[in-house]
Chains A and B, each alone.
Chain A
Amino acid sequence: MSAQLELKNLTVSYGGKPVAEKIDGSFGCGRINLLVGRAGSGKSSLLLTIAGFHSEFSGQILYDGAVFQPAGNFSLTFQDPESLFFNTSVGDEVEYSLRMRELAENEITPRAQQWLQRWGLEPEKFYSRHPFELSGGEKRRVALAACTVAMPPVILLDEPLAGLDANGQKALAEMLNQLAREHIVIVVTHEPEVFLHPDSNILFLREGQGSWFSGDDFLRQAVCNRDFYPLPRWYCHALAPFATVSSLPQVNAEAVASFVAREKSHADKL
């Protein structure tokens, strides 16, 4: 699949005041698309605009060249996973999307259970539990499973890894990377280092303006200038020696952490 979600001269406003102005560019499949910026820079508003929940905008959102009509062809998770829950069991939450897409009744439960398992939640243990009884990480997994089970072409995720521990972040980031191979996955995040890849597609919002970067370019700027974007200090230190070379190595936080650990152990041995 090589569909693209294109933003053409898109300006998003709140109460007549623009929060993101004249954005041109596109999101595609293959890699997770990152939407990055400081708090209040308009990331979530842009996501809500794409989802059709915010109507104060000008410009166009195109999907495969035609105007994107958000109706059953996307899914969205909110910053707070609890906001997504309205059913009385985890099973009902995950099955909801499939029911809305009128899947055959006998296929719904097995598929929902299988999907829940892929997100690291045992169906036997979680299927009949109330979503509000779960821990923060489990809620996050249920929300992501519920939003992606029907595999819509456009998947919008608002801070999907917030509040998770490092292992949880790694596991979910891997799942999202797999999804991004065939779907347009747009992730709003304050932790781009978890997803970063040299050829990541990044829309960086700052002071109402949107700039597009590859993972490489974004990282070089952020490593050289901490005012540009505040990445974790250890991460910047580890990458600083590479920032000047033409091609950066694998740059997501996990890869960098393993590299640092390997180098340290090598140095210790020497």
Chain B
Amino acid sequence: MQISYKPGSSFLYSLNPLIKGGLCFVLIMFFSLNGLQLPAMAGSLAMLLLFAVMGRLPLADLLLSIKRIWLLLVIVGLVQGFRGDSFELVPALEGMIRILGVFIAAGCYLTVSPQSELMFFWETIFRPLRLFRLPARELALVMVIAVRFLPVMLSEIDRIRMAQIARGARLGKGGFFSSAAALMPLMIPTLAQAIIRGEELAEAMEARGYRVSGNRTRYHRFGIGFFDVPAGFVALTVAALTVWSRFL
């Protein structure tokens, strides 16, 4: 299951893109850096999922997409669990919850943010770079396209796997190492496809009038809404909790 923008109308959708992006950033930092105990971390993850449910996000899709990172979760669990002399479950679970938290926070953000909002957020973040005569808008565009292309790349890998199986390949048979080795032939076609898609995208943008120029107007204008103030307060609280739990 892919994580990508799904149209909706809950309070999470109505947030200002800057607040939305800021909240996502703070949540990612929180799950990466917090110094809380396991129960508090699990509780934080549960709170995040509760907010996702309240925001009417497709929770089933989000949870199903965790399948894609199961290998990462297992590796992180093992690495964290074997930090001491023997395997300890608590650090293993903590490590896995951190990864899950980051993944779900980013997933929620991408689910409620259309391309124009992502663009606005990154462009604002990069705005100071203009002082150094760097192309902030173009950098933002590159970032947004990179983020948006991740699910496309994943579906591309799925497509190539299907095309290979449809012609007699027996991928994923014969255990972990065979499965890992079977992924190698996917890499070159995927990279080649990514380049082809990049060219197609550039052509499509030019065909619709995109030009690199400083004098660009904005189709969507984003104001501060009813839910932005409490959301900003939540972001500040989470940031404070991160600093307090880690450094104080």
A71 engages B196 (CB within 8 Å) = no
Q: Which of A84-92, A106-114, A119-127, A215-223 participates in binding chain B?
A: A84-92
A40 surroundings in chain B (CB, below 8 A):
none
A75 engages B162 (CB within 8 Å) = no
Q: Name A147's closest neighbour in chain B (CB-CB).
A: B167
Q: Known interface pairs A86-B193, A132-B196. Does A51 touch B166 (Cβ–Cβ under 8 Å)?
A: yes
| Interface membership of A176, Cβ < 8 A | no
Report how many residues on chain A are interfacial, defined by Cβ distance under 8 Å. 25
Q: Which of B77-98 contact A (CB under 8 A)?
A: none
B170 surroundings in chain A (CB, below 8 A):
71-72, 100
B167 engages A97 (CB within 8 Å) = yes
B189 surroundings in chain A (CB, below 8 A):
86-87
| Interface membership of B181, Cβ < 8 A | no
A234 surroundings in chain B (CB, below 8 A):
none
A97 engages B163 (CB within 8 Å) = no
A86 engages B166 (CB within 8 Å) = no
| Interface membership of B160, Cβ < 8 A | yes
Q: Name A96's closest neighbour in chain B (CB-CB).
A: B167
Q: Known interface pairs A86-B189, A86-B193. Does A53 touch B162 (Cβ–Cβ under 8 Å)?
A: yes
- Bits for B154-177, please: 1 = Cβ < 8 Å to A, else 0: 000001101111111110010000
B193 surroundings in chain A (CB, below 8 A):
86
| Interface membership of B40, Cβ < 8 A | no
- Bits for B178-214, please: 1 = Cβ < 8 Å to A, else 0: 0000000000010011001000000000000000000
Give the complex CA separation of A232 and B170 in angstroms. Answer: 41
B192 surroundings in chain A (CB, below 8 A):
88
B165 surroundings in chain A (CB, below 8 A):
51-53
A71 engages B173 (CB within 8 Å) = yes
**Shortest Cβ distance from residue A46 to the other chain B in the assembled complex, whole angstroms:** 15
A88 surroundings in chain B (CB, below 8 A):
192
Q: Known interface pairs A86-B189, A88-B192. Does A101 touch B163 (Cβ–Cβ under 8 Å)?
A: no
Give the complex CA separation of A83 and B162 in angstroms. Answer: 9
B162 engages A101 (CB within 8 Å) = no
Q: Known interface pairs A83-B159, A86-B160. Does A75 touch B173 (Cβ–Cβ under 8 Å)?
A: no
**Shortest Cβ distance from residue B175 to the other chain A in the assembled complex, whole angstroms:** 16
Give the complex CA separation of A146 and B196 in angstroms. Answer: 21
B168 engages A72 (CB within 8 Å) = yes
* Among A75, A78, A83, A84, contact of B168 (Cβ-Cβ < 8 Å): A75
Q: Name A148's closest neighbour in chain B (CB-CB).
A: B167
**Shortest Cβ distance from residue A245 to the other chain B in the assembled complex, whole angstroms:** 42
Q: Known interface pairs A86-B189, A86-B193, A87-B189. Does A97 touch B160 (Cβ–Cβ under 8 Å)?
A: no
Q: Which of B117-169 contact A (CB under 8 A)?
A: 159-160, 162-169
A83 surroundings in chain B (CB, below 8 A):
159, 162-163
A51 surroundings in chain B (CB, below 8 A):
165-166
**Shortest Cβ distance from residue A119 to the other chain B in the assembled complex, whole angstroms:** 15
A75 engages B166 (CB within 8 Å) = yes
**Shortest Cβ distance from residue A14 to the other chain B in the assembled complex, whole angstroms:** 12
Q: Name B168's closest neighbour in chain A (CB-CB).
A: A100
**Shortest Cβ distance from residue A180 to the other chain B in the assembled complex, whole angstroms:** 18
Give the complex CA separation of A132 and B160 in angstroms. Answer: 15
Please give the residue numbers on chain A whose beta carbons come within 8 Å of chain B beta carbons, in ascending order: 51-53, 71-72, 74-78, 83-88, 96-97, 100-101, 132, 146-147, 150, 152
Please give the residue numbers on chain B whose beta carbons come within 8 Å of chain A beta carbons, in ascending order: 159-160, 162-170, 173, 189, 192-193, 196
- 10 nearest CB pairs, A to B: A100-B168, A86-B189, A76-B166, A97-B167, A86-B160, A72-B168, A84-B163, A97-B168, A100-B169, A96-B167
